[in-house]
Chain A
Amino acid sequence: MSQVDPVRTTDNGGHAIFRTPVATRLHLDPPLLAALLLTMLGGLAVLYSASGGSLDTVIRQAIRFGGGLLVMLVLAQLPPRTFRFWAPLVYGVGLVLLALVILVGTEAKGAQRWLSLPGIGRFQPAELMKLAVPAMVAWFFSDRTLPPSKRNVLGSLVLIFLPTVLIAMQPDLGTAILIAAAGLVVLFMAGLSWRLIGLAVLVLVVAAPLMYFFVLHDYQRTRVDTFLNPEADPRGAGWNIIQSKTAIGSGGIGGKGWQDGTQSRLDFLPESHTDFILAVLGEEFGLIGFLLLLAVYLVIIGRGFFISWQAQETFSRLLAAALTMTFFIYVFVNVGMVSGLLPVVGVPLPLVSYGGTSIVTLLASFGMLMSIHTHRRFINF
């Protein structure tokens, strides 16, 4: 079913043979894959240090990477129209599961996010929606004329906010915002008029203080307060952010060296191997380490945008752009929160932070990007 031409190479004996490169046959995108593997390897090195030299943690993370890569490989084999075909169904099932979470979900840390499924174990439906929402919105626009009419904008907004509200009710505002962002990016890429964008920004500015007082839970409000003034409670709520800034700042340009970060090694930095792993990187590898990581991230994002630009139909284009942009939002939010620019919302640093279903979701999204890129039809003029 591959439409790619074989590549002509020669072996050492000088005989001309015809061979399809492995990456091509497996529908993988080599630049993207290389950048991802580089991030993951670097991430494992930082994780080793952040976990206090626990090889066990590194191995478990590597296994998770392996699982994620497998999912990525599987998804890359499927043509984009499969995603398009399944999008409404997965989205619908996701909605039902979210509703179930609220009704019968398992509670953890004061929020209901998990669903215990017999045979499968615990599982977070919100994670599924990170992919299903952009796919659904892209599906919605795929057959409609763009830029979208007001009626279609309204329709897409309903698709976006239905799951968002359900997730916010768990309550998991961080994920809700990320999922809403993923859907809104599709809307933006689809050509939402600048006037409406301006209006939306205006509404957001007005709504934010209202949200703070009437919608947010106490612990969320504390997070915002802490963000605005971490020194108010340096031993309590402000501790994380003060310690992570201290770790990053004390790293300087060159860093303290691998495994020599005192903040994380001496346990001053909480969550050092999960959400706050960037602080370990900043402390041990300094600004240079951060710039290297950011560079690799930008390669991944650039490649993602390139893929979306090269994509041949609306659905693939919108989906690829949205998944890429979501990836960047993860990076931005995590770096922003660890460095004290944004309030603390539990967003991991993609491919570096330890654990979670997020790794699988993330690599799944790159599988879809690769599928989009490797299933193009070549039209010869």
Chain B
Amino acid sequence: MRQPLTLKDHHHEHRLFSLRLLVAVALVLVLSLVLVGRMAWLQIAQHSRFTTLSDNNRVLTQAMSPPRGLITDRNGEILAVNRPDFTLELAVEQSADLNETLNRIRQLVPLTDDDLERFERRRTSARRPWEPIPLRGRLTEEEIARIAVHQHELPGARVTASPVRYYPHSHLFSHALGYVNRLSAEDLDNMTLAEQRNYSGTHYYGRTGVERYYEHRLHGQVGYRQVETNARGRILRVLEEQPPIPGDDLRLSLDLKVQQAAYDALGERRGAVVAIDPRDGSVLAFVSRPGFDPNLFVTGISHKDYARYQQDHDHPLFNRALQGRYPPGSTVKPMLGLAGLDAGVTNWERTIYDPGYFSLEGNPHRYRDWKRWGHGQVDMEKAVVQSCDTYFYDMGFRLGIDRMHDFMVGFSIGEATGIDLLNESEGNMPSREWKRAARNAPWFHGDTINTSIGQGFMLTTPLQLAVATAILANDGHQVVPTLAADETHPPRRPDIALKDPRNWERMKHAMEAVVHSNRGTGRVMAKDARYHMGAKSGTAQVFSVGQEETYNEEELAERMLDHALIVSFAPVENPAIAVAVMVENGRHGGSVAGPVARQVMDAWLLDQDGNLNVPEPLARPPIQNALPTPANTTAHSTRTAAP
């Protein structure tokens, strides 16, 4: 390459270079200022924001769930307890190949599709990275050991113990205690902010029964722990700790012995038993059969188990005692009789002739007695003892539905009893207003006549029957059934005051004759009894079976049989227990339901040697008028009762 011969002008070059150097220096200074500006912006203007981000990175506030209160029966027998459940958790970020790890785990402990589905759902939903996800609970000792041995092949896997609700008596108390299960996002949505904070570490929530109603007492106060973690979620140290306040232990008025007696006496039959101490409103037994195993629900019931309960024709999840609406039949005759006596439409001396039917003047329709050929001359006592329908048709017709209704609601027929359980059914005590509103039809005489023997539109729950019997046994003093031993809930109605209080005594003696006289419909029940009791049996017609259900013919025939009912109390002189028994399709109140009630009474009133030994009532606190009165509202609206 030929180079043109030019002389270098060193001075000119140096000047040019110096100029460029100046530009370079200026550029360096300007760019340095840009950097300073950027750093100052981050470190001064944005300092607090980044400090927060940095603290959020490292400081993890862990809510510590309070231990849930235990539940015992009145004698301190444990009914619900917390015990450690061993859960296999997996921090997926630590696992290089998740599928490989899962496959390896699968070879060690069985995983169901439910487990994997739940795991997958929690893995893909919003969560803190490095946070371990529960994979399988209820690990057995052997499974724990197997995982421990192969720990090195399972990066990110670990076994943790956490307290889980356990119901040692399983089916026995299922419908009274209910159960807890996993706290859902929906539960949290229905809480106030303060409640949400209190539940921030909690995994379980009372879903039904006592667990639900007394959730606010059983739960306790959340505790907090501030820990410093590194980027992989390892906890390095505890910065601050505020321990949780455990939930209250809850003592119930239930008695394990009485509950067991009721449960066993019902046997494999479908039905319900409610026993109440009229002196203090204690619920001594609260049974609905078939029951279910509440332990299955706690950590999430499997599809298979749930389907089994759902498809069972016996509806084990249905709380018959609380929500089953059955016509009370003859069991309400003593209360109706009192209504007639008090209104003056009859008295103890008045007799009628029963030809086996009752008919209204100018109407050929015959309302039949259960005894086709009739009871002959019948007075009030005989009408109760032999359960004469005709006497009550006649009395009820002359009493009229309005007075009948107003008197019966005093026994909490057609109204909630106020028991400390949610979603109680009110049953139905029909009235003109009710029929107009519900059926858009006028009230007919025939309706009154049907109602006067506890049929027609009248529906009661076994719980209501027990409460009504307790009020009767109490001479009209109100009874609010209460499961918690240390709570007293105010009655919703005043005590029933009869114009002639002696009628209480006479009616109770009539009921005593039901079981203790040889003509009584319930005489099977009092056989060899060490004490005197009063009772009234009843049968309730079955209208129809569920239309959506398929039964075979034999089953269908069985399910069309009458329900057997009995209400009873004892001892007659000084009642300490009132029992209502309902056996679905049991046909005969006296002979089927009666012995069940007897078993329950014996369990309560007799000591180990079979001698009468009436337990003392509970010392409940005086009534506080400010107590919340949860009505049959939806499950969540009463959450505000929490402190």
Contact = CB atoms under 8 A, between A and B. Distances in A.
Interface of A: 145-147, 185, 188-191, 235, 243, 245-253, 262-263, 266-268, 282, 286-287, 290-291, 294, 298, 301-302, 305, 308-309, 314, 317-318, 321, 325, 328, 332, 335-336, 339-341
A246 B54 contact: yes
A318 B14 CA distance: 11
Contacts of A247: 50, 54
A251 B18 CA distance: 40
With most chain B CB atoms within 10 A of its CB, the pick from A146, A185, A190, A191 is A146
11 contacts: A145-B9, A188-B24, A189-B24, A250-B53, A252-B47, A266-B57, A267-B231, A287-B44, A298-B28, A317-B17, A325-B24
Interface of B: 6-9, 13, 16-18, 20-21, 24-25, 28, 31-32, 34-36, 38-40, 42-44, 46-47, 49-51, 53-55, 57-58, 129, 228-232, 236
Tell me the interface secondary structure of chain B in the complex. Answer: helix
Contact of A267 (B44, B50, B53, B230): B230
A106 B23 CA distance: 41
Contacts of B43: 248-249, 251-253, 282, 286-287, 290
Given A249-B43, A309-B18, A341-B38, A321 B24 contact: yes
A169 B44 CA distance: 41
A175 to B, nearest CB: 20
A74 to B, nearest CB: 28
B21 A309 contact: yes
Given A188-B20, A249-B50, A282-B43, A294 B36 contact: yes
Contacts of B230: 266-268
Nearest to B57: A268
Given A245-B42, A249-B42, A314 B20 contact: no
A268 B35 contact: no
Contacts of B25: 302, 305
Nearest to B230: A266
A250 B236 contact: no
A346 B24 CA distance: 24
B231 A266 contact: yes
Contacts of B20: 188-191, 321
A138 to B, nearest CB: 12
B16 A336 contact: no
Contacts of B53: 246, 249-250
A263 B228 CA distance: 12
A294 B57 contact: no
Contact of A305 (B24, B34, B58, B231): B24
Given A247-B54, A266-B57, A287-B43, 20 more contacts: A146-B16, A185-B24, A189-B24, A246-B57, A247-B50, A248-B43, A248-B50, A249-B47, A252-B47, A262-B58, A268-B231, A282-B39, A286-B43, A287-B40, A290-B36, A309-B17, A325-B28, A332-B35, A335-B39, A339-B35
A253 B228 CA distance: 24
Contacts of A190: 20
A339 B39 contact: yes
Given A189-B24, A249-B43, A336 B35 contact: yes
A314 B42 CA distance: 42
The 9 closest A-B pairs by CB, nearest first: A249-B50, A250-B54, A266-B230, A267-B231, A249-B42, A250-B50, A287-B43, A250-B51, A268-B231
Nearest to B51: A250
Nearest to A336: B35
Contacts of B57: 243, 246, 262-263, 266, 268
A342 to B, nearest CB: 10
B228 to A, nearest CB: 7
Contacts of A317: 17
B51 A266 contact: no
A273 B265 CA distance: 77
A249 B46 contact: yes
Contact of A253 (B44, B54, B236): B44
A287 B231 contact: no
B455 to A, nearest CB: 69
Given A191-B20, A253-B43, A305-B25, A262 B35 contact: no
Contact of B21 (A246, A294, A321): A321
A245 B50 CA distance: 8
Contacts of B36: 290-291, 294
Given A267-B232, A287-B43, A309-B21, A314 B13 contact: yes
Nearest to A243: B57
Contacts of B40: 287
A300 B43 CA distance: 25
Contacts of B9: 145
A189 B17 contact: yes
Contact of A335 (B17, B35, B50): B35
Given A246-B53, A249-B42, A287-B39, A266 B13 contact: no
Given A250-B47, A339-B35, A146 B13 contact: yes
Contacts of B236: 266
Contacts of B129: 235
A267 B93 CA distance: 15
Contacts of B231: 266-268
A243 B38 CA distance: 16
Contacts of A251: 43
A131 B277 CA distance: 100
Given A191-B20, A249-B51, A262-B58, A328 B28 contact: yes
Contacts of A282: 39, 42-43
Contacts of B232: 267
